Amino acid sequence: MDAPPIISPNLPPLPPTKKPFAFQAAQASVLAPLISIGLGIAVNLGLGSQPTPSARIITGSLCTLLIGLGFFFGITALFGIRRYGGKGILGRAIAGIVINGLLLICMGLAVMRMTGHN
């Protein structure tokens, strides 16, 4: 009689289910302005036609923080390309940097115009 084949007790390692931080940062960079704009719209619609000045300040600060974090995460994601490769990271990171950068520039120009700086 032939002996049954020996099955190795060592199983192959499972592929990682968690994406690397660089990929998550690039994705957050693209999602940050969308979440920020959605939050601004939702708060303004929820508060009616006349939101209080404190609600405007809090909402504006939170949206600006999200956009600033999106810009930061885009730059951070670019540093992970050397380690993880550009697939899925490079395009999202550049798109996030450009979108968030343009929004930050527009906000800066609006603040300068409102304060009287030309």
User: What string of pLDDT tens digits covers the 118 residues of the chain?
Assistant: 677 777 767 777 777 678 888 898 999 999 999 999 998 888 888 777 777 888 888 888 899 999 999 999 999 999 988 888 878 888 999 999 999 999 999 988 888 888 887 6
pLDDT of res. 89: 85
pLDDT of res. 40: 86
pLDDT of res. 97: 94
Residue found by looking up tokens 């499972």 in the block: 14
pLDDT of res. 26: 92
pLDDT of res. 58: 87
